[in-house]
Amino acid sequence: MTSILILASKEFRDGLRNRWVAAATLLLAALAFALTLLGSSPTGLLDVKPLATTVVSISSLTIFLVPLIALMLGYDAIVGESERGCLLLMLTYPVSRTEIIVGKFLGHGAILAVATVVGYGAAGAAAAWTGSADAESWRAFGALLVSSVLLGLSFLALAYLISVLVTERSTAAGLAVGLWLLFIIVFDLALMGFLVASKGAMGREVFPSLLLLNPADAYRLFNLSAFENVRKISGMAGLSATAHFAPAVLLLSLVAWIAAPLAAAIAIFSRREA
């Protein structure tokens, strides 16, 4: 356990000194802040809480940005160390391969969590300042922060899986971008095409389950349908009636998307040569 914490602390400190991480945090904060200010202008006329509008806006932003940041943060976690020759040196120390994966993952995960909470926390404060926020809106915003971190960790785990499967950083970078395109763009387009081709036949039986095969869709469904004041302005009422998953199930699916790729990465790294 001590080795894991040492590795996590090292990765976290290195991340804090990384200008790319600071730029990602500022980007999240700036875009979330802009969406909050722009989205709060019509809420007085519509009797919608500004914080609920912020949740809808930031959810759409998160699906595109946070997975990409997570993939870029972790794609070279192992293959990069191997190319630099640091991995061989690390394996000479009394630390197991499982501890290396878990320690580095916790360090990168902490960086991602700090960037997300700090970036979006400013937007939440701005939304609260522009108008009153009820208790349900604050619960929805808190759920947004937690689920955004889980979404980032799920793609970070996928990045680690890529990093142990390849032997070159360039290959890992290409696969990371391809994975982002697959889950964020191609998957939903393919699902829509499948739904149209089947003339809606798979709507109630198959379609809801297919959403759980994509962590981004599970995240979207959770944040836009779990709370009434958010659901009524997100346009997700019809989908939430069809894909009637409890919020806990959607969160557990995100946890599974963290655990499964990370466990696979540990298993593969334990058997591969340095």
What is the arithmetic mean of pLDDT over 152-156? 96
With 0-12 / 13-18 / 19 or more C-beta atoms within 10 angstroms meaning exposed / middle / buried, residue 110 is middle
- Model confidence band, residue 204 (pLDDT cutoffs 50, 70, 90): low
The share of the chain scoring above pLDDT 90, in percent, equals 35
Top-confidence residue, 96 or 127: 96
**Encoded tokens for 26:** 């500022």
Domain locations in the chain as residue ranges: 2-271
CA distances from 71 to 50, 53, 58, 156, 198 (A): 31, 28, 19, 6, 33
- Model confidence band, residue 45 (pLDDT cutoffs 50, 70, 90): very low
- Which of 120-124, 130-134, 169-173, 212-216 comes out lowest in average pLDDT? 130-134
Asked whether the predicted pLDDT for residue 157 surpasses 80, the reply is yes
Most confident of 39-48, 113-122, 168-177: 168-177
Asked whether the predicted pLDDT for residue 237 surpasses 70, the reply is no
Top-confidence residue, 139 or 130: 139
Asked whether the predicted pLDDT for residue 186 surpasses 70, the reply is yes
What is the arithmetic mean of pLDDT over 7-26? 80
Which residue, chain included where needed, has tokens 């619960």? 139
Provide the pLDDT for residue 57: 80
Q: How far apart are CA 185 and CA 190, in angstroms?
A: 9
- Selection from 22, 205, 249, 185 nearest residue 115 by Cα: 22
Which residue, chain included where needed, has tokens 């409890």? 246
- Model confidence band, residue 202 (pLDDT cutoffs 50, 70, 90): low
Q: How far apart are CA 183 and CA 65, in angstroms?
A: 12
Mean of all residue pLDDT scores within the chain: 82
- Selection from 43, 226, 76, 262 nearest residue 154 by Cα: 262
Considering the entire predicted model, what is its pTM? 0.89
Q: How far apart are CA 219 and CA 211, in angstroms?
A: 10
Backbone angles phi, psi at 100, to 5 degrees: -65, -50
What is the arithmetic mean of pLDDT over 78-88? 86
- Model confidence band, residue 46 (pLDDT cutoffs 50, 70, 90): very low
Provide the pLDDT for residue 208: 72
The number of angstroms, rounded, from the C-alpha of 29 to the middle of its chain's C-alpha atoms is: 16
Asked whether the predicted pLDDT for residue 210 surpasses 90, the reply is no
- Selection from 81, 73, 143 nearest residue 109 by Cα: 73
